Amino acid sequence: MSVPKSYRTAKSIVNSYSNRLNVISYCYRKSAPKRIAFDKFTQEKYKEVSEYDLLPPAYFKYLPKSAPPVLHWKQEPGIWKKHPETGEKVRVNNVPVPVHYPKASQMGLWAGEGIVRGYAKAHKTRGMRYPRQWKPFITSRKFYSEILDKVFDIPCTLRALNKVDEAFGFDHYILKTSPEELNSLLGMTLKRHMLLALARKDMYPDDPAKREKVYNKYKQYEVPEEEAIWVGLTRGQAIALYRHLLPPEAKVRPLKNVYTEELLDKLKEQNVNMEVESEEKPKSSPSFISRIFRRGSKPGDESSV
């Protein structure tokens, strides 16, 4: 059966166009097309340094450098180990336990402990598993600070109580513990006030002998006051302190304040000009009808008659 000439012509045209498209796509893939990319960081407004980057090194010195220490699981060294029962070589399975640190941990002394979330079974070999949380035991204890000469009622864990005993005192524990292990905003705030008291030597203002005794006991933790004021501050507090310490000529005023003052000045000038114009404007003589009916005149005023 012979193929119609019109069909052969249409097929040849389609093949020719497909060949051309294939050649074009091949050449495009082989060539290196120009990449048109827009880098937003090349703009001037993105090159400005933020106030957080201008903070002194003393602030970053007391920031946590890593996660809190591992307390809820033991990390085994190496990759392989010997099975204690069979003696065969098995791989070490180091699976970190996810720990959640709620806001309440920042307002107390949990000593790095947190809430562990997972699943539990009612029976070892059968039964469905259900979600469960393992929370640390929180108790409230009173701690006395020799440096601040105050008693604090702080919620804490049993591990924190043991750490205070190991450090031989509440002040020693707060001052010598790293920010990673302390993991408490309250603890870092207490550390800042203790360091400031040691730097300024303003403890016990009415008892110089007691002040000298306490200072000699904790002088190993003393740091300059310029460094102590940045300890334990949040990001917002640090930026606010940085703005406060700037000289008046270096402070940046918000535009809303500038525009508000300019608007008030213009309104004051406008009111003054209106008062001057009202004073300079001559009083018009009363009309004939107002003189007849004495409108706009006070009683006893004969000038309008």
Better-predicted residue by pLDDT, 45 or 239: 239
User: Which spans in the chain are helix H?
Assistant: 5-30, 57-61, 158-166, 170-176, 179-182, 185-200, 208-218, 225-228, 235-245, 255-280, 288-293
Hey, where are the domains in the chain?
A: 96-120+128-247, 255-293
pLDDT score of 152 more than 90: yes
Closest residue by Cα to residue 28 from 36, 40, 20, 38: 20
Check residue 18 and give its pLDDT: 62
For residue range 39-79, list pLDDT tens digits in order: 555 555 555 678 888 899 999 999 998 888 888 788 888 88
pLDDT score of 22 more than 90: no
> Residue 138 in contact with residue 156, Cβ under 8 Å?
yes
Mean pLDDT of all residues in 158-166: 95
pLDDT score of 93 more than 80: yes
Q: How far apart are the first and last CA of the chain?
A: 128
pLDDT score of 115 more than 60: yes
Percent of the chain residues past pLDDT 90, beyond the cut: 45
CA–CA dist 220, 211 (Å, integer): 15
CA–CA dist 167, 176 (Å, integer): 8
For residue range 175-205, list pLDDT tens digits in order: 999 999 999 999 999 999 999 999 999 899 9
CA–CA dist 207, 155 (Å, integer): 31
